[in-house]
Amino acid sequence: MFKEDKFEYLVEEAAKLNKTNTKNIMSTNRQRFIVGARNMVYAFLLENHWGCTKIGRAFGKNHASVIHGCRNHENDYKTFDYYRKTYDNLVPVSYTHLRAHETSLHL
């Protein structure tokens, strides 16, 4: 499960990979690539056992917005090569950081 204290790090990494900033991802900005970056974070968190309501609260959105974003993520992942590559780069970075932090805590 992805821990809450790693949420900011995940948003920062998504921002870097999508060439934007965390403020844009957390905003109501509707530019296509920013919405895509936000949807990547939604999907990652949902895959890591965060519920739609919890994700929505973290972004100041309702659960329906999260569901819609995850559906768009699925479609974009299947359709757009650049989107798939960006998301596939986000996932290992997030897990690597999480694992490194957990390992250092256990030493």
- Residue 71 structure tokens: 């559906």
> What does pTM read for this prediction?
0.86
Q: Whole-angstrom Cα distance, residue 20 to residue 52?
A: 24
CA distance 72 to 24: 18
Nearest to 47 by CA among 26, 23, 13, 73: 73
Residue 102 has pLDDT above 60, yes or no: no
Q: Quick check: 41 and 14 in contact, CB under 8 A? A: yes
Say if residues 66 and 52 touch (Cβ distance below 8 Å): yes
CB distance 2 to 49 below 8 Å: yes
89 pLDDT more than 70 = yes
Find the mean pLDDT for residues 3-30.
Answer: 94
Look at 96 and 75; give whichever has higher pLDDT.
75
